[in-house]
Chain A
């Protein structure tokens, strides 16, 4: 059960009522405009109340909203897309969608984690949880982008890597590790955008990047709130508490310097204005790429190295600052 979906229900009910009144008002003598305005007033209040300031746990549910735009929705807005398939070995993983595309005037390699828009598709795409074959496809496409010399644009949206016996037997660890390695060395710009769920290592595999963008109500966490609660307190129902502890919101991560830019969402979430949100995101990616493509590959890689080299917080902060400075 999705918290946000539940709360949207009362709003939808209210919307319906207002519509009815407007309708009625057109063909009856008494002007009910004041009452309607009151209703509309009420509507906005509730909306602000629900979405004005959301808790981390609410944001997690917003990130999981069934109508939230997925990678495919962003890719659909690109000028061209030639999807490439497979790990060259074993399988083409539908939980990963990637290929060459044109963003604005620019050739790019786009790679996204893809959940389903309905149950049937979710089954086919394993609810957006990539298998090792999927991550090997990611690493292959990233390497290919380097070969072609085109920037990499990724969309992160996964609960995490597929936790199945088959995935373990096919070396999930090795596959993710290979992705991280490739993203670290590939000599082209990388811009990653967290559009929904940023679940642990399965999300990191697509988001070692020169710029990381996040949607306002997406999350990115070292572990799923449920998993964290289960591990720390062996009680998954404490997920809301864990969500608060984990500092997983876009706002938290921007403070930590892990996320470079947060894209605001319309009141009520990205799905309330998918087209607008997607346009904002693609626009932000283009701007970031515009800055990055000017850099020589070596400087780009050096900057990427230092960016991650600096991440960390411990007592001997000063020593660290000195060290990375050198």
Chain B
């Protein structure tokens, strides 16, 4: 679902970005975790991607003020999360580590979060938050006996109990089964549509494609790319698009496309398929149906081979 960022181009006073990072660097001893990263994140769902050890967790911790950048600034809702304690009222964090307070039940844990956030009615807020993540409210068992999936959902509940404006989630989908993951993704989308700023780090790329298409890719502590991943793919102009065409007459279609100069290279695959390479994917998309009709061929399948987020990721990581 292409996340149409709600209300672009608002022309009010100098707008305050939910997340604004400029020139942030962080190192532990001589290990440079994050080096000179700048970006802005608006409302809606943004995915933070990157190989293991790329500095994602460090960046998320800086966003919440859990650790200070050695250089550069991090602004959440206009304030400095490291100094301004009041900001924590409007930030929700789902940390990566699995451990929660072993002796508490789910309700007690989420209610504690509500109390510490200073809510008027922590009980009602806890009941609502647990309802959203589909967790029973009256489960008397302590969290130490919970499975990974249940623990993950309790962690999300404590992060949204105080209805924050910025929600940071560090690999929230690990350990969830397909049904729970689908439910959690819909939750993120709902929060994003509702004007919240949701930033999620994840490794499961085909799930991330479902959050929305806005991504931040970090590699070796630096920002490699930012924006809608399909737009990023367009920018990867030094790499031709490869598209697989299946038809009853693949040769006819390929030669038709070659004549129009829309396609640079063709590789036939078996009797009914051909993989074509084009550096101008816009023209190709306009021409392929027309050529098929011209040569009277049935067009069974047209699927880009490196248009998905995974190939964008491999491209950025591989550079």
| A and B: bona fide binding partners | no
Chain B interface residues (CB < 8 Å from chain A): none
User: Contact residues of A with B, CB < 8 Å?
Assistant: none
